[in-house]
Homo-oligomer: A and B are copies of this chain.
Amino acid sequence: MKILIDGMGGDFAPEEIVKGAVKAAAEIEETVVIIGPEKAINDQLRHNRWHGENIEVVDATEVITNHETPAMAVRKKKDSTIVKGMNMLKEGEADVFISGGSTGALLAGGLVVLGRLKGIKRPAIAAWFPRIGKDGNTLLLDCGANVEAKPEYIFQNGLMGSIFVEGITGNSMPVVKLLNVGAEEGKGDELHKEAFNMLKAAGEAEQINFEGNLEGRDIVFGEADVVVTDGFSGNVFLKGSEGMALAIMKQFKSKLTEGIVAKAGAMLAYSKIKEIKDEFDYSDAGGAPILGLKGAVLKIHGNSEATEVYHAIKRAKDYVASDITGMIAEAVEKSAAVIGAKEEIED
């Protein structure tokens, strides 16, 4: 197995990428391939005193930044880590591609180079959402790949998310719920009502473990393992929650250092506060997939440091070993009846 990682993706690349790759490669037998400017990557490998044999370096001279229009950048920068990485996936020179680069470029590159899995209407961007009161994280999708959604996209998000979570966590038949404005059946706009019916049908056919609607406030309490919705509301939910977490942490930090009495208290309570910050942090989530492509792509945060890179490489191994992509292709075929004949003709 070859695990490919984008040596230039993210704010702390290549330093933290290589550092994380070295740490992971020392623990696994699989080959880690780092793609990026050869000299810079090799310099970092030397800096990390790497003497092992399961890291390879593939040269790529260009980098796509977050400031570029994804579609255009993917077309122009043929020697970028993202485009070249996707091509390696396509040619079978790697089994999974990890990147902390532009999500838009990864999606665009994935669509152009790899293409969609047969039967998949649209690939989706997934994200891990922190939760309390229950181990692990919740997979949320779509987080913005398709802001103009159709019910069948949301339905397929349920299939794909369920298979991914089962493959990665070993949690058999994870609970899938639909993000909606109320928990009762019949809530929401036409888009979510129709998606509900499709998910329900797949649940009745035992293709997924669908347990109905849930409201945004219940996600963080772990009421589902997989939460599906359209790319617009998924994105709004994710960023809204993130803003709130940031704001509260910021206020805690500033208030607890205000005044001498409170400061003394803050010093004592500090270790606990850090624990909470870590709990609502995503660094050990190990990368979230772009699902529905003909290839395994894991996106890590742009601000990833070595620890997240390390976890992502280990997760990537499970991603490939569980043959998640193959299982999604199979599930899509089996569930074609749910979407209905009309849609099949359209496809």
The residues of B that contact A244 with a CB separation of less than 8 Å are 220, 240-241, 244-245, 248, 280
Q: Which chain B residue lies CB-closest to A229?
A: B236
Contact of A232 among B148, B188, B242 (CB under 8 A): B188
Other 6 A-B pairs with CB < 8 A, given A181-B236, A229-B236, A247-B280: A216-B241, A217-B239, A217-B246, A220-B244, A251-B276, A262-B269
Shortest beta-carbon contacts, A-B, top 3: A265-B268, A217-B243, A265-B269
Contact A250 B132, CB 8 Å, known A232-B188, A236-B237, A237-B237 = yes
- A147 in the interface (beta carbon within 8 A): yes
| Complex CA–CA separation, A247 to B269 (angstroms) | 18
| Complex CA–CA separation, A7 to B190 (angstroms) | 36
The residues of B that contact A273 with a CB separation of less than 8 Å are 252, 255-256
Closest CB in chain B relative to A103 CB, distance in Å:
11
The residues of B that contact A248 with a CB separation of less than 8 Å are 244-245, 248-249, 276, 280
| Complex CA–CA separation, A262 to B264 (angstroms) | 11
Chain A positions 194 through 220: 1 when the CB is less than 8 Å from some CB of chain B, otherwise 0: 000000000000000000000111111
| Complex CA–CA separation, A218 to B233 (angstroms) | 16
- A331 in the interface (beta carbon within 8 A): no
15 chain-A/chain-B pairs, Cβ below 8 angstroms = A147-B189, A181-B231, A220-B243, A220-B247, A221-B243, A233-B236, A236-B240, A244-B245, A245-B248, A255-B272, A255-B275, A262-B271, A265-B267, A265-B269, A269-B269
Closest CB in chain B relative to A181 CB, distance in Å:
4
The residues of B that contact A179 with a CB separation of less than 8 Å are 236
Whether the Cβ atoms of A243 and B268 lie closer than 8 Å is no
- A341 in the interface (beta carbon within 8 A): no
The residues of B that contact A148 with a CB separation of less than 8 Å are 189-190
- A343 in the interface (beta carbon within 8 A): no
Whether the Cβ atoms of B265 and A279 lie closer than 8 Å is no
- A235 in the interface (beta carbon within 8 A): yes
The residues of B that contact A147 with a CB separation of less than 8 Å are 181, 188-189
Whether the Cβ atoms of B272 and A268 lie closer than 8 Å is no
Contact A256 B269, CB 8 Å, known A236-B236, A240-B217, A245-B244 = yes
Closest CB in chain B relative to A162 CB, distance in Å:
21
Whether the Cβ atoms of A240 and B255 lie closer than 8 Å is no
Closest CB in chain B relative to A240 CB, distance in Å:
3
Whether the Cβ atoms of A239 and B252 lie closer than 8 Å is no
Q: Which chain B residue lies CB-closest to A262?
A: B272
Q: Which chain B residue lies CB-closest to A272?
A: B255
The residues of B that contact A262 with a CB separation of less than 8 Å are 268-269, 271-272
Q: Which chain B residue lies CB-closest to A235?
A: B181
Closest CB in chain B relative to A233 CB, distance in Å:
5
The residues of B that contact A276 with a CB separation of less than 8 Å are 248, 251-252, 255
Whether the Cβ atoms of B265 and A240 lie closer than 8 Å is no
- A144 in the interface (beta carbon within 8 A): yes
Closest CB in chain B relative to A67 CB, distance in Å:
11
